[in-house]
Chain A
Amino acid sequence: MMAKKIKAIISKLGLDSHERGAKLVAAALRDAGMEVIYLGSFQTPEGVVNTAIQEDADIIGISCHCGEHLTLLPILVDIIKTKKIDNIPVIAGGVIPKENISDLKKMGVKEIFGYGTTMSEVVKCVQTNCNQV
């Protein structure tokens, strides 16, 4: 029997527009057969979570380049906890200093990808977190 198609939300938070990484990830997940809802820049944490709920998404991927991992990403993780939907895993990538990774993981971010990540690593992580490996 075929596994259910994974539905992933790929988004940025706030005003930063470094979309290079987010778009690559979105394309790679699509190539791997997943359904990707690409939200791009200018999203609020509340907006991303609401879309995830409405779309019944399996995973949320957030790309951070200008410090949003310290400001907006924690807000998003908080909302997910408050709404008790932490069955939707959150992963993040982009320019995130190593020094911040353990704090983010403690907070509940499942995986953090830095520069030099291959797309196959991302695909594998998404599949693992959506219980499809």
Chain B
Amino acid sequence: MEKKVTVQGYRETVKRTKTWSGIDLKQLYTPEDIKDFDYNKDLNDSGQYPFARGIYPNMYRGKLWTRRQPWGFGTPEDSNKQMKYLISRGNTGLMVFRDQPTMHGIDSDHPLARGEVGVSGVPLASVADMEALMDGIPLESVSATLLCASVVSPVILAQYIVCARKRGLDLSQLRGTISNDPIMSNVCYSKEVNPPELGVKIWGDIVEYCAKNMLKWHAAYVSSCYNMRDYGLDAPQEIAFGLKIAATYFDNCLKRGMDIDDLAQRMSFYCNTGIDLFEEVAKFRAMRRMWAKMLRYEYKAKKPQSWQFRFAVQCSGHSLVPQQPLNNIARTSFETLAAVLGGAQSIFTTTYVEPICLPTEEAQRNALSIQGIIAHETGVAAVVDPLGGSYYVESLTNKMEEKATEVMSKIDELGGFVAALKKGWVQQQIDRGNERYQKEIEDGERLIAGVNYMTIPPEEDKAPPGGILTIPPETEKRQIERIKKLKANRDIEKVKACVKKLYEVVEKGDNINLMPYIIDAVEAKSTVEEIMGTIRNASGLTWDAWDIRKSPF
């Protein structure tokens, strides 16, 4: 089955007449395809319920989407330098990736951290790392997204809070986002690190704390959509899984007595955009409409702000191809365009080197330019929802909603998202999606340049401009030294007291918000592993998820 597809020449026709998710397309769409269409009910003007056309009346005339290219690798000092570089090149929001050990709740000197420190993110083991990372960056005037969607999120947020407090800043004025989606991390990263019960509890703690203390902060940032889609879901599944995971968090928090408007109005999503332009635009429009209906009628939220579906977008890493890497510039341009036509609030244009290595300066600069070109040269940002009213796009938007609704009903039948997860159904959907995708490529049903179409021999493929990024080799050593120094120079009695208190409140149970105790522990210079290990032990779990180290307390 080693089918390489040859171009058919003059008589070449469109090869695939389905969307990437498999919806059969007609060759022409007419008024017949949207004959029950009711403008006020189905679309309405932008800024009006159900917000299908956009959450603000003037959209990009009021404020362009945020250009948010992420960074995070090497030591905190290395990343600090790079974040400042990105700001100087037109980045309008910060986004920080944590490294793998941090996200899994272990310190840089843990045996499983070997070879991973500062590799695919920045190590944030203690508040000292956060301070070095944010050095010279005015936290009062930037919007920072901290990416760490696992159960470790509260520790990362606490590090940021302690860092801001030390500078004398008012927490209620800070703008930014903490990715907070431990269910996604259970599916995509590690089941053992992110037990669902602990995850939903921690999710609620972060949201509740921010609702009281950090009103401008997006505390409920659900990144399932991007990650699970890139792991193998299709567009309608992305909608359904994202909304159902949000519903899981809501249901748990409502049981704790929290208010739906407090929960929903600071909620935002991290979505994916693939290369199927119209399907992606239809997906974003459908998702906005479904969210509005769900919040207004199912959850009885009263504030219109709660009905508005706010989302950031990242171009699908999985859609990019290592051969002839400059082709990826075309791919991410279309993907960024789809996000803009779909009304995104913030965009991360994945760089052309994504399938080869971590983003180089040259590739980052190019990604920012793609966004600049779309914003200021193409003219597409001047008019709200420019595809609204198209027979095709409206019909496809309806189809997206219909298919996503089917998937959501299936999840309900299985007993909700956590039950579906435990039954293995979620993973099965992801695996099936992958196998289907691979088969369609091998069968030549999907044509992808540089994979099964318009390929060149590997020896003719040139290295990408800007070269390959490598991690400074001393990172791990420097980072381990930093932790040793931190541990030697802190008031250990204070650490022990904070850890003991944290252990007690976790053990006591459910509705005590852990955030204040975590913040105290961070302030006393406890590390990520010390805090997460304590929370795990007090919940009846092993210190780390692999039972390698034990509590030092």
Contacts and interface: CB of A to CB of B under 8 A. Distances in A.
Interface of A: 13-17, 20, 23-24, 27, 41-42, 44, 66-68, 70-72, 75, 95, 97-99, 114-116, 118-121
B452 A41 contact: no
Contacts of A20: 231-232, 318, 434
Given A15-B116, A75-B115, A116-B450, 20 more contacts: A16-B100, A17-B189, A20-B232, A20-B434, A23-B431, A23-B434, A24-B435, A42-B545, A44-B114, A66-B116, A66-B119, A68-B115, A71-B116, A71-B119, A72-B115, A97-B356, A99-B468, A114-B322, A115-B321, A116-B452
B450 A44 contact: no
B442 A42 contact: no
Interface string B287-327: 00000000000000000000000000000001001110000
Q: Which 10 A-B pairs have the closest CB atoms?
A: A71-B115, A15-B100, A66-B120, A116-B451, A72-B115, A17-B189, A67-B119, A115-B322, A14-B116, A97-B468
Interface string B90-122: 000000000011011000000111111001100
B2 A118 contact: yes
A120 B4 CA distance: 13
B435 A15 contact: no
Contacts of A67: 115, 119-120, 358, 471
Contacts of A121: 2
B1 interface: yes
Nearest to A121: B2
B355 interface: yes
A15 B486 CA distance: 24
Interface in B465-480: 468, 470-471
A68 B357 CA distance: 12
B10 interface: no
A72 B114 contact: yes
B546 interface: yes
A110 B442 CA distance: 24
A42 B192 CA distance: 10
Contacts of B450: 116
B112 A42 contact: yes
B198 interface: no
Contacts of A14: 100, 112, 114-116
A118 B3 CA distance: 9
B461 interface: yes
A51 to B, nearest CB: 15
Interface of B: 1-2, 100-101, 103-104, 111-116, 119-120, 188-190, 192, 231-232, 318, 321-323, 355-358, 431, 434-435, 438, 442, 450-452, 455, 458, 461, 463, 468, 470-471, 545-546
Contacts of A114: 322
Nearest to B356: A97
A102 B442 CA distance: 27
B355 A119 contact: no
B438 A119 contact: yes
A15 B434 contact: no
A59 to B, nearest CB: 21
A66 B438 CA distance: 21
14 contacts: A14-B114, A14-B116, A15-B113, A66-B100, A68-B116, A95-B356, A99-B463, A99-B468, A114-B322, A115-B321, A116-B321, A116-B450, A116-B455, A121-B2
Interface of B is mostly: loop
Among B115, B119, B189, B318, residue most surrounded by chain A Cβ atoms (within 10 Å): B115
A116 B323 contact: yes
A95 B321 CA distance: 10
Nearest to B448: A116
Given A14-B114, A15-B101, A114-B322, A119 B442 contact: yes
A20 B190 CA distance: 14
Contact of B461 (A41, A44, A70, A98): A98
Contact of B355 (A17, A27, A68, A95): A95
A13 B116 CA distance: 10
Contacts of B471: 67
B99 to A, nearest CB: 9
B180 to A, nearest CB: 18
A68 B358 CA distance: 13
Contacts of B114: 14, 44, 71-72
Among A23, A75, A115, residue most surrounded by chain B Cβ atoms (within 10 Å): A115
Contacts of A66: 100, 116, 119-120
Contacts of A41: 190
A72 B262 CA distance: 45
Contacts of A99: 463, 468
Nearest to A19: B231
Contact of A118 (B113, B442, B455, B545): B442
Nearest to B452: A116
A42 B114 CA distance: 11
A58 B356 CA distance: 30
B143 to A, nearest CB: 27
Contacts of B232: 20
B238 to A, nearest CB: 16
B468 A118 contact: no
A98 B458 contact: yes
Among A23, A75, A97, residue most surrounded by chain B Cβ atoms (within 10 Å): A97
B190 A42 contact: yes
Contacts of B458: 98
B169 to A, nearest CB: 33
B468 A27 contact: no
Contacts of B452: 116
